[in-house]
């Protein structure tokens, strides 16, 4: 069915999710077109904190914890492949990360949460440890007096997300993928086993269509008999000037980039599509960061911004295939960086094969179709 269409696969969305999948498909020899919005798009891929994070993920859905761990474990291979194909070093490092606690109560709460996470049936097993203040001081010598301890997980790491997005785009283009920016999709119509896509630049016929449009999925999914109940959730980030390296581990809300800047994050706010920065939240972020590393108080702040996560009701991703229109798929998550390796190396082959495996059932949006009690 594919030869007669303009493209075998149309991926809707050119952020980290769409380009990871597009690159993964193109590597398998598929003909892929990515349709994207322009510079005005809400682009979570350009505003995120760039952690490749495992600890604390999956309480309520062990399948998600396993998927996250798989991505973390294959991330180094992804970085290597991207560098080999594009000469772009995305600066992935996995030195292990910390979730630090300011106060005993906070530490207790974090420990309890991890215990619950790992006590779940079918939970993937991996190591983590509770680190007391004395040991923390040897690993993070600059911590302040308020830090009582923290959780360390050797699987946690970080990357340069801007370079990652650039590498996916560059690699995709090198493999012959077609990227069409400023072609926002208006309508998708299933038509005799294929899909007609009306977009800003005209009409395109595709054999298969993969939604990776972030918050835009909510509008597009119903056109394909799919449900993408996602909403924007704002996060704000503060960035300092470049400093000599002092921080060897990402600390969930504080990390030093490969270029020396220190990123401080990140809030969780329900603010609709308002992506403006507010002093109140920024001040709280800075205050907490300077309690964790007091010397940060001397650093100059050079930028702050807000971006919008793509959030489901339960916080877990949706990977779904349309029952009504085979060949239509939905992908959405709020961890496009962490899951980049899983999307490019594992999900893309499933989409190329045309079917999601049975053990992906937990990721289906059908989990939200629960009737309200009478």
Partner 1 sequence: MFKRLPDSGAESLTITVDGARIAAREGDSVAAALLASGRVVCRASAVSDAPRSPYCMMGVCFECLMTIDGIGNRQACLVRVAEGMRVETQSGAREFGR
Interacting residues toward partner 1 by CB under 8 A: 142, 241-244, 246, 259-260, 295, 298-300
Q: Which is nearer to partner 1, 227 or 240 (CB)?
A: 240
Residue closer to partner 1 (CB basis): 294 or 315: 294
**DSSP track, 138-197:** HHSTT--TTEEEEEEETT-EE--HHHHHHHHHHHHHHTT-EEETT--EEEEEEETTEEEE
CA 230-54-253 angle, 5° bins: 80
Task: State the minimum distance, in angstroms, from the CB of residue 153 to partner 1.
Answer: 24
Rounded Cα distance, 109 and 264, in Å: 22
Taking the complex as a whole, the smallest distance from the CB of residue 137 to partner 1 amounts, in Å, to 16
Rounded CA separation 52/46 (Å) = 15
| Residue whose tokens read 């993969």 | 210
How far is it, in rounded angstroms, from Cα 7 to Cα 302?
43
Distance (Å, whole) CA 71 – CA 65: 10
Q: Which is nearer to partner 1, 295 or 355 (CB)?
A: 295
* Partner residues linked to 329 by β-bridges: 210, 321
Minimum CB distance to partner 1 smaller for 294 or for 362: 294
Decide whether 295 or 353 has the Cβ nearer to partner 1: 295
CB of 241 to partner 1, least distance (A): 6
Q: Which is nearer to partner 1, 259 or 369 (CB)?
A: 259
Output the smallest distance, CB 250 to partner 1, in A. Answer: 16
**In whole angstroms, how close is the CB of 244 to partner 1 at the nearest point?**
5
Instruction: Find the shortest distance in angstroms from Cβ 132 to partner 1.
Output: 24
Quickly count: other Cβ atoms within 10 Å of residue 195's Cβ.
23
Q: 251: part of which helix (H) or strand (E)?
A: none
Q: How far apart are CA 310 and CA 232, in angstroms?
A: 5
DSSP H/E element including 370: none
Q: Name which of 372, 369, 346, 371 is nearest 359 in CA terms.
A: 346
Do 68 and 125 form a contact (C-beta atoms < 8 A)? no
Token pair 């974090």: residue: 110
Residue 62 three-state SS: helix
Report in angstroms how near the CB of residue 2 gets to partner 1 at its nearest.
Answer: 46
CA 220/CA 223 separation, integer angstroms: 6
- CB closer to partner 1 out of 242 and 367: 242
Residue where the block lists tokens 């193109």: 26
For tokens 């289906």, name the residue: 364
Minimum CB distance to partner 1 smaller for 119 or for 300: 300
Nearest approach, Cβ of residue 142 and partner 1 (Å): 7
Shortest spacing between CB 284 and partner 1, in angstroms: 22
- The residue (of 299 and 351) whose beta carbon lies closer to partner 1 is 299
């Amino acid at each position: 069915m594919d030869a007669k269409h303009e493209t075998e696969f149309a991926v809707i969305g050119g952020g980290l999710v769409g380009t990871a999948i597009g690159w993964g498909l193109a590597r398998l020899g598929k003909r892929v077109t990515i349709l994207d919005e322009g510079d005005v798009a809400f682009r979570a891929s350009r505003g995120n904190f760039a952690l490749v994070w495992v600890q604390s993920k999956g309480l309520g859905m062990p399948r998600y914890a396993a998927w996250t761990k798989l991505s973390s474990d294959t991330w180094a291979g992804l970085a290597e492949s991207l560098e080999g194909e594009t000469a772009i070093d995305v600066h992935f490092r996995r030195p292990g990360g910390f979730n630090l606690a300011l106060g005993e109560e906070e530490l207790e709460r974090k420990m309890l949460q991890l215990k619950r996470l790992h006590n779940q049936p079918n939970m993937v097993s991996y190591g983590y440890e509770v680190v007391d203040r004395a040991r923390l001081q040897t690993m993070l010598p600059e911590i302040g007096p308020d830090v009582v301890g923290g959780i360390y997980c050797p699987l946690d790491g970080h990357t340069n997300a801007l370079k990652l997005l650039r590498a996916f785009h560059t690699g995709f283009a090198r493999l012959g993928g077609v990227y069409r920016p400023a072609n926002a999709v208006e309508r998708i119509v299933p038509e005799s086993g294929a899909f007609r896509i009306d977009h800003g630049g005209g009409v395109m016929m595709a054999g298969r269509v993969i939604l990776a449009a972030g918050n835009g999925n909510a509008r597009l999914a119903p056109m394909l008999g799919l449900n993408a109940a996602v909403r924007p959730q704002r996060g704000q980030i503060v960035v300092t000037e470049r400093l000599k390296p002092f921080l060897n581990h990402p600390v969930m809300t504080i990390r030093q980039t490969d270029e020396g800047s220190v990123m401080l994050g990140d809030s969780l706010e329900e603010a609709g599509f308002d992506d403006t920065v507010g002093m109140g939240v920024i001040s709280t972020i800075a205050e907490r960061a300077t309690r964790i590393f007091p010397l940060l108080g001397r650093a100059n702040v050079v930028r702050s911004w807000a971006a919008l996560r793509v959030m489901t009701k339960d916080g877990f991703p949706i990977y779904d295939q349309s029952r009504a229109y085979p060949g239509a798929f939905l992908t959405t998550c709020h961890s496009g960086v962490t899951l980049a390796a899983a999307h490019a190396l594992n999900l893309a082959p499933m989409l190329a094969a045309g079917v999601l495996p049975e053990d992906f059932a937990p990721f289906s949006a059908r989990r939200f179709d629960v009737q309200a009690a009478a």
